[in-house]
Amino acid sequence: MDDKTAVSNAASLMGKRGSTSAARSGGSSSRSTANSSARARSKLTSALRNRLRRLEKPNSPRAKLEYVTENLISSHSFARRRRANRTRFASTRTASQTLLGCSKLASLPLDQLTAEQIGGFIAYRQLSKVQVSTLNRDLATLRRGFHLAEEWGKVSTVLPRVRLLPGENHRERVLTADEEAKYLETATSLGHEHAEAYRRALEGIRATQRGQQPKQPDAFLLRDTAIILMDCGLRPEECFRLKWMENIRDGAIEILTGKGRGSRRRIPIPQRVRSILEMRRVGGLSEWVFPAPTKSGHIESSSLKKQHAEAVKASGVVAFVLYTFRHTCITRWAKHMDPFTLHVLAGHTDMNTTKRYVHPSEDDILEAMERVRGGHKFGHTLKIADPEEVAGITGKMLDESELSGATRQDRTGDLLITNQPLYQLS
């Protein structure tokens, strides 16, 4: 049975079931249930009939780039990623708009696109002086669109291979212990200032005479999120979406959804993070660990943007982004963990991705090499010897009586060769 026959039979069967069930529902108690079931069957019947109309279209035009990008954004798999990572969704949507803005790519069917036209798009974007990372996001979206078109059977030929450009900048910043201490101390001080400002606002004229109660801030929000990111190696969006009932279980943080297939993992809670969670849970009424008056109900990256910039400036630390905490944590873990455990805790699908998060310093490399050598330090330490001892050793070395009959000039290494013609040695 082909697709058209199956869809047609399913649509007719659903229509008959909807009419018979509506006729059988006689009592008032079951009338609402029957109506809701009829509506659900009606929607399913309409969807099946629409599917049948699409299958019956003769000689449908070949798919273009616009069709692929629209279905890429609205597909079920990408909708799930959209909920898990809004940043990646926005990046793909922007890249799709950029690709559709190039008339040479958008006007032709996918099976007519060649490597030369893709190279022209790359040259056009390079003339616009965009970063390599931005251009690679465009190319990655185009490559994903090609794969979907082949998977959906929208092309009959092999599409050109899309390669990403080298030279993309990667995060290599790792905080030192001193920088971490300065940043956390400043974040704590800023939290005390916010708490004191709220206390003064409660005693002000607006609160006491006008009845305008100030909004209570989450004073130590920046400090708490920074410590969790530093000690657990979470992605910022994973930390922002933590829930008490779903993610905090049995002394560990369980990440159920995330950026990729390897994001699902279980991370034991360190003592410092445990203290923070216990303090935040006292009196907390929200399901979120970090609630906020946002559309999602929890904090976003914009919730910490101003506070983070203020803490960096006040602490005197070189500017960095919140994602640096994750790189710092994984780099520190790498000193004491095997690669496979590190790969699991980092939440990566590919081991090569984990390698990009480890940034050993020169001191770390020398220390590791010394451990391999059994504690021997590289390099030689100058030692001043006793002059009399040196003189005694020198005199002993010049004693020709210990050369077993050979002259000093004839001694080469451990071989004692007498001064004889070479033809007599045979």
pLDDT tens sequence across 182-241: 999 999 999 999 999 999 998 888 888 888 888 889 999 999 999 999 999 999 999 999
Q: State the pLDDT at residue 8.
A: 54
213 Cα distance to chain centroid: 40
Residues 99/118, Cβ–Cβ less than 8 Å: no
Q: 177-372: which CATH architecture?
A: Orthogonal Bundle (1.10)
User: In the beta sheet, which residues pair with residue 43?
Assistant: none
Question: Which residue ranges make up each domain of the chain?
Answer: 3-55, 65-151, 177-372, 387-424
232 Cα distance to chain centroid: 14
Q: State the pLDDT at residue 406.
A: 43
Following DSSP, what letter does each residue of 187-241 receive, concatenated?
A: HHHHHHHHHHHHHHHHTSHHHHTS--PPPPP-TTHHHHHHHHHHHH---HHHHHT
Cα 88–Cα 345–Cα 78 angle in degrees, nearest 5: 25
Q: Which residues contact 324 (CB under 8 A, 6 or more apart)?
A: 171, 173, 174, 175
State the Cα–Cα distance between residues 138 and 136, nearest whole angstrom.
5
Collapse the DSSP code of 293 into the 3-class scheme (helix H, G, I; strand E, B; otherwise coil) and give the result. Answer: coil
Q: State the pLDDT at residue 87.
A: 58
Token pair listed for 112: 């007519």
pLDDT band at 88 (very low <50, low <70, confident <90, very high): low
Q: State the pLDDT at residue 273.
A: 96
State the Cα–Cα distance between residues 243 and 277, nearest whole angstrom.
11
Token pair listed for 233: 């190696």
First to last CA, the chain: 96
Collapse the DSSP code of 138 into the 3-class scheme (helix H, G, I; strand E, B; otherwise coil) and give the result. Answer: helix
Cα–Cα distances (Å) from 218 to 193, 292, 297, in that order, read 12, 9, 14
Say if residue 80's pLDDT is above 90.
no
Mean pLDDT on 323-350: 94
Collapse the DSSP code of 316 into the 3-class scheme (helix H, G, I; strand E, B; otherwise coil) and give the result. Answer: coil
State the Cα–Cα distance between residues 226 and 327, nearest whole angstrom.
13
Q: Among the residues of 103-218, which ranges form H helices?
A: 103-106, 115-127, 132-151, 177-202, 205-208
Token pair listed for 311: 């803490």
- What tens digit of pLDDT does each residue of 108-136 get? 888 888 899 899 999 988 998 888 988 99
Q: Global pTM? A: 0.63
State the Cα–Cα distance between residues 274 and 54, nearest whole angstrom.
56
User: In the beta sheet, which residues pair with residue 135?
Assistant: none
Residues 132/167, Cβ–Cβ less than 8 Å: yes
- What tens digit of pLDDT does each residue of 265-309 get? 999 999 999 999 999 998 778 999 999 999 999 999 899 999 999
User: In the beta sheet, which residues pair with residue 211?
Assistant: none
- Chain mean pLDDT for the chain: 78
- What tens digit of pLDDT does each residue of 339-392 get? 999 999 999 999 999 999 999 888 888 888 888 877 655 554 545 555 555 455
Residues 272/227, Cβ–Cβ less than 8 Å: yes
State the Cα–Cα distance between residues 358 and 294, nearest whole angstrom.
34
Q: State the pLDDT at residue 386.
A: 56
What is the Cα gyration radius of the chain?
35
